[in-house]
Amino acid sequence: MQNKQYSVKVFETTISNEQKFMDFFDNNYTLFKDHLIVIQGELSQTIQDYLEEKNLKYLENVVLPKGRTRKALEEELNAEKVSAAVSQQIVETELERLSTQLQNNLTVLDEMIRSGRELNIEGDLLLLNRVNSGATIITSGNLIITKVVEGSIRCHGNFMMLTASPKANIVFHDVEVDNTLLEDRLNRVELKNNEIIITPVLKKEINWAL
């Protein structure tokens, strides 16, 4: 591919009076003979013939890239900077919101919670083992348990992920969750607009702790 770049002088005009236009060009021919003439609006046959006769290059009804003044350029740059800063701020606050929602002091445990044990977790808990009948787990954050729960759980976080646990006693934000609604391998229980919403996430068995 071969490219050439030119800077061309453009004379842009709209014709309202054909005679006046032709007079203007007759008088200033030497000044405009190397210009590209751009006619915006209607272009009559007379003018076309006139321009061709004078051997002037012309275009009609085109949108030209406009030059800008220095002040306008600076303003534009400034506006760009502001919008970038604003979007950065939005992303940061969003991330912060998500991180407080998803992970605060995550505790990971892979031990069986036997009967009689009471776990009081400040923050989130990921538990990779069973919760036996008679055990209690209380979390201030989110709770994910990958195996069957037969004990009781009290969760005060934004969401819980639980497997189908027909014998469990589940309390989410002081509301007892009907555990027959937890039907699949993994279910998400979350609070949205003061409503507890249960969504099945996973139907099949997966192996978490390899």
Report the nearest approach of other proteins to the CB of residue 109 (Å).
Answer: 14
Q: Does 132 bind other proteins (CB under 8 A)?
A: yes
Sheet arrangement for strand 143-145? 107-109, 125-127, 143-145, 159-162, 186-192, 195-202
Report the phi/psi class of residue 61: left, alpha or beta, with left for phi > 0 and alpha for psi in -120 to 50: left
Using the Cα atoms of residue 120, residue 124, residue 129 and residue 132 in order, give the sign of their dihedral.
positive
Q: Does 169 bind other proteins (CB under 8 A)?
A: no
To other proteins, the closest distance from the beta carbon of 179 in angstroms equals: 17
Contact 74, 91 (CB under 8 A): no
Q: Does 150 bind other proteins (CB under 8 A)?
A: yes
Q: Which stretch binds other proteins (CB under 8 A): 7-15, 65-73, 125-133, 187-195?
A: 125-133
Mark the segment that binds other proteins (CB under 8 A) among 66-74, 83-91, 131-139, 182-190.
131-139
Binding residue (CB under 8 A) for other proteins from 56, 134, 154, 158: 134
The total of other beta-carbon atoms located within 10 Å of residue 8's CB is: 8
Sites for other proteins among residues 98-117 (CB under 8 A): 112, 114-117
* Contact set for other proteins, span 9-48 (CB under 8 A): none
The answer to whether residues 12 and 40 touch, using CB atoms and an 8 Å cutoff, is: yes
Size of the site for other proteins (CB under 8 A): 10
Q: Is 157 exposed, middle or buried (0-12, 13-18, 19+ CB in 10 A)?
A: buried
Q: Which is nearer to other proteins, 97 or 114 (CB)?
A: 114
Residue from 133, 136, 140, 169 in contact with other proteins (CB under 8 A): 133
- The answer to whether 128 contacts other proteins (rule: CB under 8 A) is no
Q: Please say whether the dihedral angle defined by the alpha carbons of residues 66, 71, 77 and 79, taken in this order, is positive or negative.
A: negative
Rule CB under 8 A: which residues touch other proteins?
Answer: 112, 114-117, 130, 132-134, 150
